[in-house]
């Protein structure tokens, strides 16, 4: 008896100490994000002197020089897109892991990437569209469609969309859509070549129109996501406990999925399926903040764009005069880094 | 796993062959010049056959070259619709089976039913493969190489070599290469070269660069692996050699759009496979740095016959267009 109470006191003390450190931690991450964003605007496959970048940024006026065009029309939108897309992927992953109580959950296993790819291929082969600007909207529709399909399949039956049914429905829909996409692409080299560019996951070639197209969705989704912390904490205790605490489990789940659909759908639409961020960042956030989703969500929201932008800057600097796609850099560098984290740090359970 | 794959393919193929063994054998006349036949492929290998091949399947431009000497293939595969392919669009293809109209895609089953005894496709030294059998095509398409011997002239250092090589191949296949039309085309080509050289000589400072834009980067052509660009260089035109071609695919130097203005030619050669009258304006709208290439900004953009020329006639026609562009070009546009 005395042992349990001592344990209880200790955890709550730890909890409050965490809270007092986590607030300033968020501020520190904001500063880091600002620094990384600055790097992303000042560094790239083209070398532009710092003073020229600052001049372009300071006047916010394209003086017609290539350096100024590259800074204002290529790097600034690219950086802003990296921030909102990264944040969206990180948060979507965190929410999905919480709702499904599945440590491997990310947008990919819920059918979002497969749905987006299927619609992009449909746009290329059946409708004959070409170009990133058009793919965005098809990918968005496909991602949302796939997620709706997964959710409604998993909702069949009395107990609703349980974590296990969501995981299985996600896997089934992904497999189904991927085989259709592969089937079409195998017989249509042209579609394969178009899809290949989209499918790597890249911030290149996406300019202001794509940013302004998806940013409203992402911003709304990000703001909404901040309200899910308490509900996810309840769900993490198990459905029955959550219900016992007075939570409307089905409604929470549906709302959470709607937010994920908007966030991951718009992010995938804009940049292609960027792997890794949505899976790993929530684990890093959980490692820092412990199991409280009221902290995990904002931490994911800041950690994810930091990592995404760093990987993008690296790919641009290392590849000059060419560029490496951020999806490739993340996979190559991120995977071993994550293995190291798993190996040497004790990760919190979902 | 790797060992049984080809075996399986052979088994499947022989089933196809026996299946259609009894149709139209009557049309097989023994060739006048029965052989034995041999030809030195672009890869350097000597390809031999007991009798001179008569049932030929050829890739688009190669087929057009053979047809210019009166050798009609029984099957053609091309990289785009035969109605738009620059080599084929003006030819009468009646009686020829179309086996593919997309890069990387050949209907090998249909090809097998034709029972070819020779496959003709250019040899690409950078990829060490024949047209239609390169890295990246449908795996199924590569099986066309199992139907018959494959020969082709090398996409090497000159279109002239390529055209002469196909004349030699046609000759070995029994064609008469002394048709007056052939001589006329060669004459037209020589005149075109003379006119081109004269135009270039008048603009000693003029530089050109060849590009192919895409959504995520700008591809800047490396003349070393583009025979027509090497020819233009040998005619005196200063075609820019990029200094960092992609080691894995040396046809291009890949430039991020941030570096689109790395080279500043006075005249831009735009990949003719995708060039249209509105290309320059379209890319200007799409890519903020496209017009940072001064030649693009100045509208000094002309179609580049990229990787498709095979005959003196076509080369003469394209050279005349380039001569016009060179005459109109301002050598002070770029750097």
* Average pLDDT score over residue span A161-188: 87
User: Is A19 among the domain residues?
Assistant: no
Predicted pLDDT at A105: 84
* Average pLDDT score over residue span B248-266: 94
Give the residue carrying structure tokens 């299985």: A168
> What percentage of chain B has pLDDT greater than the value 70?
90
Predicted pLDDT at A341: 74
Q: Does B214 touch chain A (CB under 8 A)?
A: yes
Predicted pLDDT at A348: 65
Distance of residue B307 Cα from the nearest chain A Cα, in angstroms: 18
Instruction: Please report, for residues A42, A86, A119, A137, B104, the alpha-carbon distance to residue A129 in angstroms, rounded to integers and kept in the order given.
Output: 34, 27, 11, 11, 21
pLDDT bracket for residue B63 (50, 70, 90): very high
Residue A183 domain boundaries: 33-344
Distance of residue B8 Cα from the nearest chain A Cα, in angstroms: 20
User: Is A231 among the domain residues?
Assistant: yes
pLDDT of B190-226, one tens digit each?
A: 999 999 999 999 999 999 999 999 888 999 999 999 9
Predicted pLDDT at A167: 87
> Which residue in B165, B100, B261 sits closest to A45, CA to CA?
B261
User: Any idea what the CATH number is for the domain that residue A238 is in?
Assistant: 1.10.3470.10
> What percentage of chain A has pLDDT greater than the value 90?
34
**CB–CB of B288 and A188 under 8 A?**
no
Predicted pLDDT at A350: 66
Q: Which residue among B103, B286, B287 places its CB closest to the CB of A189?
A: B103
Give the residue carrying structure tokens 């669009």: B89
User: Is A17 among the domain residues?
Assistant: no
Residue B311 pLDDT exceeds 70: yes
Predicted pLDDT at A15: 53
Residue B304 pLDDT exceeds 80: yes
Mutate which of A129, A321, A325, A326 to disrupt the B interface (most B C-beta within 10 Å)? A321
pLDDT of A308-319, one tens digit each?
A: 999 999 999 988
CA–CA separation, B139 and B26 (whole Å): 34
Predicted pLDDT at B307: 93
Residue B24 pLDDT exceeds 80: no
Mutate which of B104, B211, B258, B288 to disrupt the A interface (most A C-beta within 10 Å)? B258
Judged by phi (left if over 0) then psi (alpha if -120 to 50, else beta), residue B252 lies in beta
**CB–CB of B216 and A197 under 8 A?**
yes
Mutate which of B256, B260, B262, B285 to disrupt the A interface (most A C-beta within 10 Å)? B256
Q: Which residue among A190, A204, A321 places its CB closest to the CB of B216?
A: A204
Residue B163 pLDDT exceeds 80: yes
pLDDT bracket for residue A347 (50, 70, 90): low
pLDDT bracket for residue A3 (50, 70, 90): very low
Say whether pTM exceeds 0.90: no
> Which positions in chain B touch A188 (Cβ < 8 Å)?
102, 105
* Average pLDDT score over residue span B32-42: 83
* Average pLDDT score over residue span B17-37: 49
Angle at the Cα of A134 from the Cα atoms of A131 and A140, rounded to 5 degrees: 130
- Residue A118's Cβ-side half-sphere holds a number of Cα atoms within 13 Å equal to 21
> Which positions in chain A touch B256 (Cβ < 8 Å)?
44-46, 204, 316, 319-323
User: Is A170 among the domain residues?
Assistant: yes
Mutate which of A48, A52, A62, A70 to disrupt the B interface (most B C-beta within 10 Å)? A70
Q: Does B80 touch chain A (CB under 8 A)?
A: no
Please name the residue of chain B whose CA is at the shortest distance from the CA of residue A202: B216
Q: Does B259 touch chain A (CB under 8 A)?
A: yes
The H or E element containing residue A97 is helix A76-100
Which overall architecture, per CATH, does domain B30-177 show?
Answer: 3-Layer(aba) Sandwich (3.40)
Distance of residue B323 Cα from the nearest chain A Cα, in angstroms: 31
For chain A, which residues lie within 8 Å of any Cβ of chain B, measuring from their own Cβ? 44-46, 66, 69-70, 73-75, 131-132, 186-190, 197, 202, 204-205, 207, 316, 319-323, 325
Cβ(B173)–Cβ(B166) under 8 Å? no
CA–CA separation, A311 and A330 (whole Å): 6
* Average pLDDT score over residue span A59-83: 88
User: Is A108 among the domain residues?
Assistant: yes
Please name every residue paired with B46 in a beta bridge, in sequence order, or none if there are none: B40
Predicted pLDDT at A330: 87
Residue B182 pLDDT exceeds 80: yes
Q: Around Cβ B281, how many Cβ atoms within 10 Å?
A: 14
Q: Around Cβ B186, how many Cβ atoms within 10 Å?
A: 18
Residue A87 pLDDT exceeds 60: yes
A67-76, A210-219, B24-33, B223-232: segment of lowest average pLDDT: B24-33
Please name the residue of chain B whose CA is at the shortest distance from the CA of residue A201: B216
* Average pLDDT score over residue span B31-37: 69
Residue B4 pLDDT exceeds 50: no
**What average pLDDT does chain B have?**
88
pLDDT bracket for residue B145 (50, 70, 90): very high
User: Is A4 among the domain residues?
Assistant: no
Predicted pLDDT at A195: 78
Distance of residue B217 Cα from the nearest chain A Cα, in angstroms: 8
> Which positions in chain B touch A132 (Cβ < 8 Å)?
215
Q: Around Cβ A84, how many Cβ atoms within 10 Å?
A: 22
What would the DSSP string read from start to end of B239-259? EPPPSS--TTSTTEEEEEGGG
| Portions of chain B given CATH number 3.40.50.1980 | 30-177, 201-328
Mutate which of B135, B213, B214, B215 to disrupt the A interface (most A C-beta within 10 Å)? B215
Cβ(B212)–Cβ(B274) under 8 Å? yes
Cβ(B69)–Cβ(B63) under 8 Å? no
* Average pLDDT score over residue span B238-257: 94
b/e string for A53-65 if b means 16 or more Cβ within 10 A? bebbbeeeeeeee
CATH homologous superfamily for B201-328? Nitrogenase molybdenum iron protein domain (3.40.50.1980)
Residue B28 pLDDT exceeds 80: no
Residue A250 pLDDT exceeds 60: yes
Angle at the Cα of A279 from the Cα atoms of A275 and A282, rounded to 5 degrees: 135
Q: Around Cβ A13, how many Cβ atoms within 10 Å?
A: 10
Instruction: Please report, for residues A26, A105, A143, A309, the alpha-carbon distance to residue A289 in angstroms, rounded to integers and kept in the order given.
Output: 11, 19, 30, 22
**What average pLDDT does chain A have?**
85
Predicted pLDDT at A13: 46
Cβ(B259)–Cβ(A45) under 8 Å? yes
User: Is A99 among the domain residues?
Assistant: yes
Q: What is the largest CA-CA distance in chain B?
A: 68
Window B:125-144, CB contacts with A under 8 Å:
137-138
Q: Does B172 touch chain A (CB under 8 A)?
A: no
What would the DSSP string read from start to end of A287-348? HHHTT-HHHHHHHHHHHHHHHHHHHHHHHHHHHTTS---HHHHIIIIIHHHHHHHHHHS-PP
pLDDT of A4-35, one tens digit each?
A: 444 444 444 455 556 678 889 999 999 999 99
> Which positions in chain B touch A197 (Cβ < 8 Å)?
214-216
Residue B315 pLDDT exceeds 50: yes
Residue A37 pLDDT exceeds 90: yes
**CB–CB of A321 and B215 under 8 A?**
no
Both tokens of residue B33?
A: 């010049």
Residue A266 pLDDT exceeds 60: yes
The H or E element containing residue B271 is strand B267-271
Task: Count structural domains, chain A.
Answer: 1
């Amino acid at each position: 008896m005395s042992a349990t109470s001592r344990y209880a006191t200790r955890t709550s003390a730890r909890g409050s100490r965490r809270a007092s450190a986590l607030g300033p931690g968020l501020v520190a991450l904001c500063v880091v994000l600002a620094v990384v964003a600055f790097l992303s605007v000042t560094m790239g496959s083209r070398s532009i002197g710092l003073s020229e970048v600052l001049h372009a940024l300071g006047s916010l006026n394209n003086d017609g020089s290539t350096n100024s065009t590259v800074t204002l029309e290529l790097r600034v939108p690219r950086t802003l897109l990296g921030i909102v897309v990264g944040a969206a992927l990180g948060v979507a992953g965190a929410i999905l892991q919480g709702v499904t109580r599945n440590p491997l959950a990310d947008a990919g296993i819920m059918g979002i990437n497969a749905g987006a790819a299927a619609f992009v291929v449909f746009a290329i082969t059946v409708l004959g569209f070409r170009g990133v600007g058009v793919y965005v909207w098809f990918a968005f529709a496909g991602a949302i469609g796939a997620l709706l399909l997964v959710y409604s399949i998993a909702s069949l039956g009395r107990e609703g969309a349980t974590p296990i049914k969501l995981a299985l429905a996600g896997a089934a829909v992904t497999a189904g859509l991927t085989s259709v996409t592969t089937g079409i692409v195998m017989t249509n080299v042209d579609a394969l070549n178009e899809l290949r560019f989209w499918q790597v996951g890249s911030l290149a070639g996406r300019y202001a129109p794509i940013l302004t197209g998806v940013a409203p969705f992402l911003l709304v989704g990000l703001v909404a996501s901040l309200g899910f912390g308490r509900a996810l904490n309840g769900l993490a205790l198990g459905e029955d406990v959550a219900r016992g605490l007075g939570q409307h489990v089905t409604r929470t789940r549906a709302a959470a999925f709607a937010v994920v659909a908007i966030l991951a759908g718009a992010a995938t639409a804009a940049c292609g399926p960027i792997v890794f961020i949505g899976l790993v960042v929530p684990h890093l956030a959980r490692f820092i903040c412990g199991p409280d989703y009221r902290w995990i969500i904002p931490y994911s929201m800041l950690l994810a764009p930091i990592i995404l932008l760093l990987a993008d800057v690296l790919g641009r600097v290392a590849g000059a005069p060419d560029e490496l796609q951020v999806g490739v850099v993340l996979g190559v560098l991120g995977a071993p880094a994550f293995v190291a984290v798993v190996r040497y740090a004790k990760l919190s359970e979902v | 796993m790797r060992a049984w794959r080809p075996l399986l393919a052979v088994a499947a193929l022989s089933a196809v062959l026996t299946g259609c063994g009894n149709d139209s054998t009557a049309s097989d006349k023994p060739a006048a010049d029965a052989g034995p036949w041999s030809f030195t492929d672009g890869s350097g290998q000597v390809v031999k056959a007991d009798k001179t091949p008569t049932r030929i399947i050829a890739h688009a431009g190669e087929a057009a070259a053979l047809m210019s000497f009166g050798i009609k293939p029984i099957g053609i595969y091309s990289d785009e619709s035969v109605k738009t392919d620059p080599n084929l669009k003006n030819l009468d293809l009646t009686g020829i089976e179309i086996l593919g109209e997309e890069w990387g895609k050949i209907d090998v089953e249909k090809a097998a039913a034709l029972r070819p005894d020779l496959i003709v496709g250019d040899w690409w030294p950078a990829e060490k493969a024949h047209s239609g059998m390169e890295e990246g095509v449908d795996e199924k398409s590569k099986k066309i190489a199992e139907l018959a011997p494959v020969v082709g002239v090398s996409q090497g250092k000159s279109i002239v070599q390529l055209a002469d090589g196909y004349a030699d191949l046609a000759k070995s296949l029994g064609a008469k290469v002394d048709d007056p039309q052939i001589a006329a085309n060669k004459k037209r080509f020589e005149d075109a070269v003379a006119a081109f050289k004269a135009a270039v000589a008048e603009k000693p400072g003029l530089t050109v660069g060849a590009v192919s834009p895409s959504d995520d980067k700008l591809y800047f052509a490396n003349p070393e692996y583009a025979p027509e660009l090497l020819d233009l260089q040998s005619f005196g035109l200063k075609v820019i050699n990029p200094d960092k071609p992609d080691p894995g695919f040396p046809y291009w130097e890949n430039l991020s759009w941030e570096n689109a203005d790395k080279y500043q030619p006075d005249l831009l050669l735009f990949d003719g496979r995708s060039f249209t009258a509105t290309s320059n304006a379209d890319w200007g709208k799409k890519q903020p740095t496209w017009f940072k290439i001064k030649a693009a900004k100045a509208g000094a953009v002309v179609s580049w016959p990229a990787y498709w020329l095979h005959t003196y006639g076509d080369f003469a026609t394209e050279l005349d267009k380039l001569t016009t562009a060179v005459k109109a070009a301002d050598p002070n546009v770029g750097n």
